[in-house]
Structure 1
Amino acid sequence: MGHHHHHGHSHSHTDLRGRNLLISILLNILITLAQVVGGLISGSLALLSDALHNFSDVLSLIISYVAQKLGKKQANKHKTFGYKRAEIMAAFVNAATLVVVAIFLMKEAVERLFDTQEIASNLVIWLSVLGIVANGFSVLLLKKDSKENMNMRSAYLHLLTDMMASVAVLIGGILMSLFQLYWVDAVLTMIIGIYLIYMGYDLLKESTKVLMLFTPKSIVIQDIVESICTIEPVKNVHHVHIWQLNEDEVHMEAHVDFKEDIKLSEFDTILEEIEEHVYHKHGINHVNIQPEFDKCDSKSIIVQD
C-alpha cells in the first residue's frame, strides 16, 4: 500500500491569525460590557440583543482561538491526525450559535412588538457607534484569513454580522431620537435575527459536510477514476474514498487493480504519477493506494464498507 502527501504551512502566518483573534476577543469583551450596561439603562432591546450577539462572539472567538492553537499540536500514537479537525469543529459550533442566537433574538423582538417601550435613544446611538468602530476593526483584521480558513471564516462572520447589527441599531437610535418611533427597535432586532440565520446556515452546512466526510463538491470522482485508468498497466480503480480532513488537507484512498503482476518498484513509479496527477488537477494532497492483481472483490467505484 502506498501513500503520499503534499503540505505547506507557515507558522508565522498561523501565529498572526492567533494574534488577530486575541485582539478581536478583547475588543468584543469591551463592547459587550458597554452594551449590556447601556441597554439596561436605555431600555433598548436592540442594544441588548446586540450585546447578546457580542457575547456569543466572545465565546465563538475564544473557541476559534483555542482551535487554532490546538490545530498546531503534533500527532501522536493516540491522536494520529493530531488536532487537525479542531478548527472545523469550531466552525460548526460557531455557525450553530449564530442560528440559535438569531432564533432567541427574533422571539424577544416579537414579544417587544406587543409591548413597545420608550427608549433612551441618545445612549443607543453612541454605543452603536462604538460597536461599529470596534467590530469594523476586527473585521478588517480577520478578512484575509476568512477566505482560506473555515474557522477564521466563522469568526469573521460573527464579527461582520455584529458590525451590521450595530449599524441597524444606530439607524434605529436615530429614528427613535428624531421621530419617537420606538417600534423600530423590535423590527430591527427581527431583521438582525433573519440576517444571522442567513449568514450562519451556509457555514453550518459546509462544516457539517466536512465532519461527515463528504467528498468536496469541487471533486468529481468519476473523472479521477477515468484519468487514473489511462495509466498503464492500471485495469480498474475501485473502492474509492475522498474526504476533506481540514482546510489544508484532502485525502483519497482507493484500490487499484493491475492488468499484470507488477514489481513493487514499478508500482512506486505508477503511484508517484497518480499522486502528482490528483494533487495538481484536483487538490488532493494525501493519497493512499491499495494495489491488487486478480483479486476477487467488488470492482464498484463506491463500495459500502
Structure 2
Amino acid sequence: MSHHHHHEHGHDHTHHHSISSNLKVAFFLNLSFTIIEFIGGIFTNSMAILSDAIHDLGDTFAIGSSLFLENYSQKGRSKKFSFGYKRFSPLSALINSVILLAGSLFIITEAIPRLLNPETVDARGMLYLALAGIFFNGLAVFRLRKGENSINQRAVMLHLLEDVLGWVAVLVGSIVMLFVNLPIIDPILSLLIAVYIFWNAFKNLRQVMHIFLQATPDDVDIDKVKSALESLEEVQDTHDTHLWTLDGNYNILSVHLVINNNMRLSELAELRMKVNKKLKSYHIDHITIQFEVPGELCELEKH
C-alpha cells in the first residue's frame, strides 16, 4: 500500500488545474476585498469591520498558501526531503494560525477600551461594506463549489462561509445602529468575531503542533494496530511501534515484528502482504516492517 510517486502524476493534472484556477479566483477576490476592508474599517471607524478584515487576511493567506502547496506538495520526494513535501501544508497552517492569533489579540486589546467609551461609527458605511463582503465571499464560495473537492478546497470553502457569517453579523449590527444610537454594538461584535477567530486559530495550532511533534494521528488507534498485528499467527510479538502523520492525512507506521525462527524470505514476503491487508482498513499509507526472531535482543530494548 505504500504509494510510490513516480506513476501517480499523469492522471490528475486536469483536476488540479480546475482546483488551482478556482483557488486563484478565490484568492484574488479575497485579497482585493481584504484591502478594501482595512481601508473601509478605518474610514467607518468600525472595529467590527477591522476584525472581519483580519479574519479575511487569514483566509487570504490560507488560500494563497494552499494554492502554492496544492502544486508544491504534489512534487515527489527529493534527496533533501525524503518524505516528500507534504509537511509544507501544516507549515503554512502554522504560520496562518500565528497570524490569526496575533490579529485577534490585537483586535481584543483595541476593542476592550471601546466597550468602556464607545466611539461613533459610520453605520451606513458599515452596511455597504457588509453587503459587499457577503457578495464577494459568496462569489468565492460559489466558485469553489463548482470545482473538484480536494481537502484543501473544502477547508477554504469553510473559511469563506465563516466569513459570510461574520459579515451577516456586521450587517445586522449596522442596521440596528442605523435606527438606534448604540455605538457599543460595534466593539461587542468585534470582540465576538475576534474571540471566535482566536479560538479556531488556537485549535488549529494544537493540531499542527501534534503533527510536528509526531503525535499519533487522531484517526488511527495505535493499540488496535498492535493487536491487529499480533492477531496474525506468524507474529509472536510487536514492539517499537511508531505511528505518525506527515500532514494529518498521510499516516506512516514503522514496527518490529517478532516471528518464528525458521521463516523463509518468500514466507516473509507473504506475511508482509498479510500485514498490508490487515492494516488496509486502518488508514495507514506507508508501512515499514523490521522482522526479528525470538530471543534476538532488539538493539533498542537494551537502552
Q: Secondary structure at the match of 1:108?
A: helix
Match of 1:296? 296
Residue equivalent to 2:59: 57
1:188 positional shift? 0.4
What is the TM-score when the length of structure 1 is the normalising length? 0.87
8 Å contact kept, 1:145–1:153: no
Match of 2:119 among 117, 120, 128: 117
For residues 172-199 of structure 1, the C-alpha deviation after alignment (integer angstroms, 9 at most, x for no partner) is 2111111021111111001101111232
- Structure 2 residue identity aligned to 1:5: S
Matched AA of 2:2: H
Return the offset for 1:107: 1.1
2:246 corresponding residue in structure 1: 245
Deviation at 1:273, TM superposition (A): 0.6
Task: Answer yes or no: is the 8 Å Cα contact 1:105–1:193 preserved in 2.
Answer: yes
- CA RMSD between the two structures: 2.8
**In structure 1, the residue corresponding to 2:35 is in which secondary structure?**
helix
C-alpha deviation, 1:156, in angstroms: 4.0
Distance 2:23 2:34 in 1: 16
2:227 counterpart of 1:226: yes
Alignment pair present for 1:284 and 2:281 = no
Q: Which residue number corresponds to residue 201 of structure 2?
A: 200
Shift of residue 16, structure 1, vs aligned partner: 2.9
Greater Cα shift, 100-109 or 242-251: 242-251
Shift in CA distance, 218/50, structure 1 to aligned 2, threshold 3 Å? closer
Bigger mean CA deviation after superposition, 100-109 or 219-228? 219-228
Other structure's SS at 2:56 match: helix
Long gaps (5+) in structure 1: none
Aligned amino acid, residue 195 of structure 1:
Y
1:95 to 1:148, Cα distance in 2 relative to 1, 3 A:
farther
Aligned length: 298
- Show CA shifts across 1:191-225 (max 9, x none): 10111123223322222222221112232222222
Provide TM-score, normalisation by structure 2.
Answer: 0.87
Aligned partner of 1:263 in structure 2 is 264
The Cα shift of 1:298 comes to: 5.3
Equivalent residue letter for 1:21:
L
**1:5 counterpart SS class:** coil
1:91–1:154 Cα contact (<8 Å) kept: no
In the TM superposition, what is the alpha-carbon distance from 1:155 to its structure 2 partner?
A: 3.6
Distance 2:158 2:249 in 1: 20
Query: Are the aligned partners of 1:154 and 1:203 in contact in 2 as well (CA < 8 Å)?
Result: no
The answer (yes or no) to whether the contact 1:213–1:243 under 8 Å persists in 2 is yes
1:146 touches 1:153 (CA, 8 Å); kept in 2? Answer: no
Partner of 2:274: 273
Does residue 34 of structure 1 match 2:36?
yes
Q: Which residue of 2 aligns with 1:46?
A: 48
Deviates more, 1:84-93 or 1:261-270: 84-93
The corresponding residue for 2:90 is 88
Instruction: Label 1:43 to 1:146 Cα distance change in 2 as closer, same or farther (>3 A).
Output: farther
In structure 2, stretches of 5+ residues that fail to align are none
Distance 2:188 2:170 in 1: 10
Q: Percent identity?
A: 28
1:186 partner letter: P
Q: Which amino acid aligns with 1:217?
A: D
Report how far residue 57 of structure 1 moved.
Answer: 2.6
Distance 1:254 1:63 in 2: 34
